[in-house]
């Protein structure tokens, strides 16, 4: 990873850090004193939204990448190579496909009827630029990352295992929140019946899986080929990023 990648990762890390602070600390204090139910829901359950989960996953990826840059300077290649395996999997299987899925689903519903996904009243506490950070730039930055780094991709089965596990855990969160409090995190769920809610969850997984395929396609266009991460052998072997 060169200087361009280092600049991207450091810049993105601190941008994301501020956005996370704004959403969960600075903004939460203001939102909690609001009398509007929607604003209060955002404040109380800010850590339970899929957008924020995926945003945090990307922040973890940037942090790991910064560690890799530091390890390169220290010539600690053994540790760096191990971190690379984890960062590649996180980036290709969860961070990027989920970000693309979040952006596509969010803006599609927003254009159709924003009250179903991001009610207008939220503009009072979430500025437009913050909204774009978590729903637009969250997809742009990974694409820029792909221009700078030739990632290794897991097999389809391993990638989908990660994606499915991630979404199943989130499904427990969103449905658990409803059964616990009677509140749907997303207004869209309130207007659907149970079969439609289940169908929506399945649809989200299908879109996320398609976004993994799109991630591979974008990577192939940029680099001319897709390097598949080798299966782990019994003895273990060292694999370096091309």
**What average pLDDT does the segment 181-202 reach?**
96
The answer to whether residue 192 sits within a structural domain is yes
Query: What pLDDT is attached to residue 235?
Result: 47
Q: Please determine, for residue 231, whether its predicted confidence score (pLDDT) is greater than 90.
A: no
**What average pLDDT does the segment 37-56 reach?**
92
Q: Please determine, for residue 232, whether its predicted confidence score (pLDDT) is greater than 70.
A: no
Q: Please determine, for residue 119, whether its predicted confidence score (pLDDT) is greater than 70.
A: yes
Mean pLDDT of the chain: 90
The answer to whether residue 10 sits within a structural domain is yes
**What average pLDDT does the segment 171-192 reach?**
96
The answer to whether residue 196 sits within a structural domain is yes
The answer to whether residue 201 sits within a structural domain is yes
The answer to whether residue 99 sits within a structural domain is yes
**What average pLDDT does the segment 157-163 reach?**
93
**What average pLDDT does the segment 53-73 reach?**
95
The answer to whether residue 236 sits within a structural domain is no
How many distinct structural domains can be found in the chain? Answer: 1
> What percent of the chain stands above pLDDT 70?
92
The answer to whether residue 111 sits within a structural domain is yes
Q: Is the pTM of this model over 0.85?
A: yes
The answer to whether residue 241 sits within a structural domain is no
Q: Which domain holds residue 156?
A: 3-228
Measured in degrees and rounded to the nearest 5, phi and psi for residue 229 equal: -65, 130
């Amino acid at each position: 990873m060169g200087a361009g990648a280092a600049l991207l990762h450091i810049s993105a890390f601190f941008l994301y850090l501020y956005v996370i602070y704004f959403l969960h600390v600075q903004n939460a204090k203001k939102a909690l004193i609001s009398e509007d139910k929607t604003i209060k829901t955002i404040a109380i359950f800010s850590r339970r939204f899929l957008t924020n989960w995926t945003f945090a996953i990307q922040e973890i990826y940037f942090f790991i990448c910064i560690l890799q840059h530091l390890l390169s300077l220290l010539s600690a290649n053994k540790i760096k190579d191990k971190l690379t395996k984890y960062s590649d999997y996180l980036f290709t299987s969860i961070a990027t496909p989920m970000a693309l899925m979040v952006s596509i689903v969010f803006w599609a519903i927003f254009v159709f009827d924003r009250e179903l996904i991001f009610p207008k009243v939220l503009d009072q506490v979430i500025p437009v630029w913050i909204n774009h950070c978590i729903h637009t730039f969250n997809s742009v930055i990974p694409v820029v990352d792909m221009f700078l780094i030739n990632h290794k991709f897991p097999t389809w089965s391993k990638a989908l295992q990660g994606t499915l596990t991630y979404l199943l855990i989130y499904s427990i969160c969103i449905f658990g929140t409803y059964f616990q409090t009677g509140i749907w995190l997303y207004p869209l769920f309130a207007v659907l019946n149970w079969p439609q809610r289940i169908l929506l969850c399945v649809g989200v997984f299908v879109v996320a899986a398609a976004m993994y395929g799109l991630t591979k396609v974008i990577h192939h266009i940029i680099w001319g080929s897709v390097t598949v991460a080798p299966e782990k052998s019994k003895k273990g072997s060292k694999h370096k990023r091309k």
